Amino acid sequence: MTLLLKQLFALVRLLNSDTGTNQIAAGVACGLILGFAPMLSLQALLVFVCMFLFRIQIGAALTSAFFFALVAWLFDPVSHLVGSAILEAESLQPLFTTLYNMPLVPLTRFYNSVVMGAGAISILLALPVFFASKRLIVAYRVKVVARFRSSPFWKLWSGTTFFKWYATYDKLHG
């Protein structure tokens, strides 16, 4: 829980800074794949490993995974239709037969219509979501953060002793 909270605070801090745009956007894209995949599956494990190994913002990934899991749940009937269409495509039958009988691949549960449909949708959307996230983060920083920092409330708050003390602490230990 501490790790999770730490990651969430890091996300807020990163969002409000001028750096880490790619990390956050990659986190959101990973969250999309994670949210659309079943929790106990090989692909979810792979995404987790990637999140840990590469510098992807985990807080952003987990937050967006939670959000996209809800979206995926709402889109289950659509995923089912898409997945059924893919799995029943005659030209793909030899490929699926090979994959089905290969080691490890069946652990992705690709042979399930909802998993296949959701997986296909999430992979197709991953790149657009990555670039859209980058744009949104930049827009957020310009339109929300900059405006907030020029507001009287922020000026008042940043002038308090407590804030100064926190800023010093954050600089030293953050």
Partner 1 sequence: MDKPVKQQGPIRFEAVIPMLIVVGVIVLYFSLFFDTHLRRSIEYAAGQANGAEVNIGRLNTSVFDASVLIADVQMTNPAQPERNRLQVGEIRFRMLWDALLRGKVMIEEAAIEDVQVDTPRQRAGYVLPPEPEQEDGPSATDRMLAQMKEEFSGNVVGDLAAIAAGTSASEQIKVAGEDLKSSAYLDGIQKSLDETEQQWRERMDALPKGEDFKALRDRLAKVQLKDFKDAAQLQASVKELQSIRDEFDAKSRPVGEAGTKLTGDMGALRGSLGDLDKVVRDDVRGLQARMHLPSLDTATLSRALFGMDVLGQLQQARGYMNQARQYIPARSAGNKAKPAASKSRKGRDYAFGKPKGYPAFWLRRALLTSRLSGERGLSGEIRDVATDQQLVGRPLVATLKGDFPQQGVTGVKAELVVDHRTAEPAERLNLEVGRYAVAGRSLVNSENVTLGFAKATASSGFVAELRGEKVDMRLSNRFNDTAFETGSKTAVVREMMAASVAGLNTVSLDARVSGSWSDLEWKLSTNLAEALAKGMGRYLQAKMDEARKRIENLVNDRIGGQKQRLLARQGELEARYKSQLAERKAQLDKLRAELDGARSELDQRKNAAVDAEKQKLKQEAGKLLDKWRK
Q: Which residues bind partner 1 (CB under 8 A)?
A: 3, 13-14, 16-20, 49, 52-55, 73, 76-77, 79-80, 83-84, 87-88, 93, 96-97, 99-107, 109, 111-115, 117, 158, 167, 170-171, 174
Neighbours of 145 (CB within 10 A): 15
The amino acid present at 10, given as its one-letter code, is A
The Cα–Cα gap between 171 and 174 comes to 6
Residue 163 beta carbon to partner 1: minimum distance, rounded to whole angstroms: 8
CB of 98 to partner 1, least distance (A): 8
Q: Closest CB to partner 1 among 91 and 101?
A: 101
Q: Tell me the two tokens of residue 53.
A: 């190994």
Task: In angstroms, give the least distance from the CB of 54 to partner 1.
Answer: 6
Tokens (6 digits) for 85? 């269409």
Considering beta carbons, is residue 55 or 147 the nearer one to partner 1?
55
Q: What is the CA radius of gyration of the chain?
A: 21
Q: Give 128 or 174: the residue with its C-beta nearer to partner 1.
A: 174
Look-up of token digits 């893919």: 86
Polymer length in residues for the chain = 174
